[in-house]
A = this chain, B = another copy of it.
Amino acid sequence: MNNKIYFTPGPSELYPTVRQHMITALDEKIGVISHRSKKFEEVYKTASDNLKTLLELPSNYEVLFLASATEIWERIIQNCVEKKSFHCVNGSFSKRFYEFAGELGREAYKEEAAFGKGFYPADITVPADAEIICLTHNETSSGVSMPVEDINTFRDKNKDALIFVDAVSSLPYPKFDWTKIDSVFFSVQKCFGLPAGLGVWILNDRVIEKSKALLAKRKSIGTYHTIPSMLEKARVNQTPETPNAMNIFLLGKVTGDMLQISADGIRKQTEEKAALINTYIESSKVFSFGVEDAKLRSMTTIVANTTMLPGEINKILEPFDMAVGAGYGSKKETQIRIANFPAHSLEQVHKLVQTLKEKIG
């Protein structure tokens, strides 16, 4: 039995109800039934409808289920870029998304910020021929966030470009203005507290039209996971391929549980827990903020510079059945990352902060 609480930024703790929902899934044979059956369609519809309610999606938005957010990066480029994309790059994940465009034969512009730094949209000029603008709400590698009010400034200056927002490790925390963007995506193993293996792509009619326009021009936009192919099935609550039905079922259940708290309730809890962690970092002798500009600090992936090796910190936390994440990539020995997801209770965060304070200072 593994009783450790993982504050690692994904995969991370499962939402507290997941074990029971998984047993229900086994009892109801969710992993056995056909993905063309009525029962599966209900499972799909529950997950899709709950997400639409939780995130307050307008009626021109659709929800699609893919295998991972990594896959969604690829599908965005294939389906929505004929020639040129634009990316704000300030960490390992936004950089990888940018690279995908080149690997698929498109030309990609980038605006770059150093690791741990963010963007100030007033300073950014997106080239007029960029067909899509790719922003990252929450860079899981560096803990830098792009505030929703900053995201909202792009549309006014770039009427035609489609705006995509990577909210892999922050949704349902950010409250997006859906009229100012066109698409958001996330993976379920972060803030939704599920086992990995499902990426969720939220997109509006403008994105759909773009993919259809490329197809009409006889451009190759992929095979089973083109937007038109996925949409045709989504409209009958199905997927083109046999999907990860267990995870779609669990997502429906966990979003149902979240609706009991409400999205605003989750936001309030997230901020309360983040304040606890941040107050501690501010006073610590070992840790300091990884992101200097307080306005750009992520609420869900809190990154701190450390003078003690992350491995040493986790050795100290081990007897207390807790673990934090190491820094990402080249920062793996000089930073820690603390996930503050809905699955992490206030009590658990309290215990983490208290233990770090007492044992490390």
Taking beta carbons and an 8 Å cutoff, which residues of A are in contact with B? 1-2, 4, 6, 8, 10-14, 18-19, 22, 26-35, 67-71, 73-74, 77, 96, 99-100, 103-105, 187, 189, 194-198, 220, 222-226, 240-247, 325
Contacts and interface: CB of A to CB of B under 8 A. Distances in A.
Given A31-B194, A32-B11, A241-B70, A103 B2 contact: no
Given A11-B242, A71-B67, A241-B70, A223 B29 contact: no
A39 to B, nearest CB: 9
Contacts of A18: 26, 31
Contact of A32 (B12, B35, B100, B224): B12
B6 A196 contact: no
A220 B197 CA distance: 25
Contacts of A30: 195
Ranked 10 nearest A-B pairs via Cβ: A197-B244, A31-B195, A67-B67, A70-B241, A2-B29, A196-B242, A100-B223, A195-B246, A68-B241, A105-B220
A33 B6 contact: yes
A222 B68 contact: no
Contacts of A77: 223
Contacts of A6: 29, 32-33
Contact of A189 (B10, B27, B198, B242): B242
A244 to B, nearest CB: 3
Given A14-B29, A71-B241, A104-B220, 8 more contacts: A11-B31, A13-B32, A96-B224, A103-B223, A196-B243, A196-B246, A197-B243, A244-B247
A195 B245 contact: yes
Contacts of A67: 67-68, 71, 197, 241, 244
B241 A35 contact: no
A11 B33 contact: yes
A14 B2 contact: no
Q: Point out which of A29, A104, A223 has the most chain B C-beta atoms below 10 A from its C-beta.
A: A223
A31 B14 contact: yes
Given A246-B195, A246-B197, A14 B32 contact: yes
A18 B99 CA distance: 39
Contacts of A12: 32
Nearest to A3: B29
